[in-house]
């Protein structure tokens, strides 16, 4: 069964460093998303991406964040200068069409900022 994959599974970084979280969505999907979940809290939407551009972003997704689909398979989330409060699980998701269809989530990357 097709699945969304994410690498690395765990990333440890120093405050102020740049990190890139990588995702490989399901191959025929058109919509891509990033969510995050701070330990013990709700899953929060960060950004959605369609047709090589951001279609919606939340207030969390400020200038420190960026997304890119550098080739036909990868979808990345970059955090330019990490803060302690960026420590969280980051989930990538993908879907075929907006509206009715389900989103498929990856297993997540645990980001720890020291």
Partner 1 sequence: DAKTTQPNSMESNEEEPVHLPCNHSTISGTDYIHWYRQLPSQGPEYVIHGLTSNVNNRMASLAIAEDRKSSTLILHRATLRDAAVYYCILELSNFGNEKLTFGTGTRLTIIP
Residues near partner 1 (CB under 8 A) are 4, 31, 33, 35, 42-45, 48, 50, 55-56, 58, 91, 93, 95, 97-108
With a CB cutoff of 8 Å and minimum separation 6, the contacts of 27 are 2, 73
Q: Which is nearer to partner 1, 36 or 82 (CB)?
A: 36
Shortest CB 43 distance to partner 1, Å? 4
Q: Which is nearer to partner 1, 3 or 14 (CB)?
A: 3
Closest CA to 15 of 81, 77, 66: 81
Closest CA to 92 of 80, 79, 107: 107
Q: Which is nearer to partner 1, 45 or 76 (CB)?
A: 45
Shortest CB 29 distance to partner 1, Å? 11
Q: CA torsion, points 72, 6, 21, 35, in degrees to nearest 10?
A: 100
Q: Which is nearer to partner 1, 1 or 14 (CB)?
A: 1
Shortest CB 52 distance to partner 1, Å? 14
Query: How far is Cα 25 from Cα 16, in angstroms, rounded to an integer?
Result: 28
Count of residues in the chain: 114
């Amino acid at each position: 069964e097709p699945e969304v994959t994410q690498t690395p599974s765990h990333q440890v970084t120093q405050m102020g460093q740049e990190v890139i979280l990588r995702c490989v969505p399901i191959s025929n999907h058109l919509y891509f998303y990033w969510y995050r979940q701070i330990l013990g809290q709700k899953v929060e939407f960060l950004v959605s991406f369609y047709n090589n551009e951001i279609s919606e972003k939340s207030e969390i997704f400020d200038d420190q964040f960026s997304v890119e689909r550098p080739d036909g398979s990868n979808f990345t989330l970059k955090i330019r200068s990490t803060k302690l409060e960026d420590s969280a699980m980051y989930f990538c998701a993908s879907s075929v069409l907006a509206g009715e269809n389900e989103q498929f989530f990856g297993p997540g990357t645990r980001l720890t900022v020291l």
